[in-house]
Amino acid sequence: MTAHEGNPASQGWQGGTQEGWVEPRATAVLVLADGTVLEGFGLGATAQAPGEVCFNTAMTGYQEILTDPSYAGQIITFTFPHIGNVGVNEEDTETVNAAASSGVRGVVLHAEVTQPSNWRAAKHLDAWLKARNIVGICGVDTRALTALIRENGMPNAVIAHDPAGNFDIEALKKEAAALPDMAGLDLVPLVAATQRYDWDETPWQWPRGYGKREAAAHRVVAIDYGVKRNILRLLAKAGCEVEVVPSTASAKDILALNPDGVFLSNGPGDPAATGEYAVPVIKELLDLKIPTFGICLGHQMLALAIGGQTMKMKQGHHGANHPVQDKTTGKVEIVSMNHGFAVDPATLPANATETHVSLFDGSNCGIALNDRPAFSVQHHPEASPGPQDSHYLFTRFVELMEAEKAKKAA
């Protein structure tokens, strides 16, 4: 089924016939855990999928969002009404592990997806969603759904698409109500790499596209909890030889690669659940005073490793227009966010300094350790919504490695 089939704008009035008005039949539904049923028109995979519903306020970058491994187990509602209008291409995918299933379970849209109008477009969003087995629904009042999430928090739900419009609503309600809460779920194994690999691709530049790193001044081991491609590209651009290891790699495995620094990646799920096996490794690396930089889930992993705690957020932060203040400089950055858990700043030990804070709600967005060369941020500096407000963090990581090398040489 194409994105426009079943749309009332396409099939409503049969002018000049005896049929009159033909009521369009819903070909997709979103059934929330509280029993709320939202009807619409299907696109993407003909299937049903469970997940936690969140909303994203970004106006651009939907392909990157839909391939961000941090969204594993979630159904994304886009607040911007026109999604899919520039199509999709082969270059803007953020998932590294091609063997893994798409982390995103479904997508909720307001407007019908139009034919793409962009010189980089290689495929229609509908066909792309089908290929990635992502269930979609359009024709939904996404403003009302967003207001519901803001009021009640992110609900579990089941999204279903059937071109014939046959749904067992009562069964879908029971399935949605029985879904486990995101708290306590370790979703990293669904999206992270299972083998070690090298990375040398650098960011996209007009007109040549992506480049290749040449000389490298520092060796970085990136622990993959669901890493995004552009993070690895910016590490390579900063002159780092990047070795990516699985989330289950031991400290011994990481140290065997002789890193100048360790990067803790983004990823999905409850950080406390992932921390059960990740935190002991990070603690060992911190004790050896290896320069460490974390982003998103990696930020939460660092906080847990020093004795802090994380907490589930009511609606989370998902968007590309979030103001965050760097307290070390006083500057405000416009950043990209994607997280449903946050570090509780009240639980941070004395050796940690809060470096970044959200200007939306005052939540913690960054820390730095006073006694070890380690820091992290909750937002995604590589996503470039500012567009490059936060790229300095990669330079800060390089400077940290250089300072440690200078200490050892002295």
Residues 6+ apart with CB under 8 A from 19: none
Give the three-state DSSP class for 388.
coil
Give the three-state DSSP class for 151.
helix
Give the three-state DSSP class for 135.
strand
Phi-psi group of 165: left, alpha or beta (phi > 0 → left; psi -120 to 50 → alpha; rest → beta): left
Please state, in angstroms and rounded to a whole number, the distance separating the CA atoms of residues 265 and 154. 24
User: Nearest CA to 167 among 40, 291, 8, 353?
Assistant: 40
- 207 prior amide bond cis, ω within 30: yes
From residue 104, give the alpha-carbon distance in Å to each of 188, 233, 391: 13, 23, 26
Please state, in angstroms and rounded to a whole number, the distance separating the CA atoms of residues 195 and 243. 11
Residues 6+ apart with CB under 8 A from 277: 247, 248
Amino acid found at 92: D
Give the count of alpha carbons within 13 A of 287, CB side only.
9
Please state, in angstroms and rounded to a whole number, the distance separating the CA atoms of residues 304 and 300. 6
From residue 377, give the alpha-carbon distance in Å to each of 200, 254, 359, 390: 23, 22, 14, 10
Q: 322 has which bridge partners? A: 335
Beta strand 48-56 pairing with 74-78: parallel
Give the three-state DSSP class for 237.
helix
Using a 10 angstrom Cβ sphere, with 0-12 exposed, 13-18 middle and 19 or more buried, the burial of residue 368 is buried
Please state, in angstroms and rounded to a whole number, the distance separating the CA atoms of residues 40 and 37. 10
Amino acid found at 76: I
Q: Which residues are catalytic?
A: 296, 380, 382
Max Cα–Cα distance, the chain, nearest Å: 91
